[in-house]
Amino acid sequence: MHDANDLLNDVLEDKAESYEKFRDAVDHKRPSPYLGVSERHLAWCSPSVDLEGLRASNASGSELLRAMGLKPIGEDAIEIIYAASLAVPYFKPTALHAGADATFRVTPVESEFGLTIGGLREAIHLPILAASTLKNGARFRLWRME
Residue 47 binned pLDDT confidence (cut-offs 50, 70, 90): very high
pTM: 0.82
The ranges assigned to domains in the chain are 37-127
Query: 75 burial class (0-12, 13-18, 19+ CB within 10 angstroms)?
Result: exposed
Q: 71, 22, 87, 79: which is closest to 54 by C-alpha?
A: 79
pLDDT at residue 21 greater than cutoff 80: yes
Question: What is the tens place of the pLDDT at every residue in 63-89?
Answer: 999 998 888 888 888 899 999 999 889
Cβ atoms 70, 145 nearer than 8 A: no
Question: What is the tens place of the pLDDT at every residue in 125-139?
Answer: 999 999 999 999 999
Q: What is the pLDDT of residue 85?
A: 92
Residue of higher predicted confidence among 80 and 103: 80
Percent above pLDDT 90 for the chain = 38
Would you give the DSSP letter of residue 57?
T
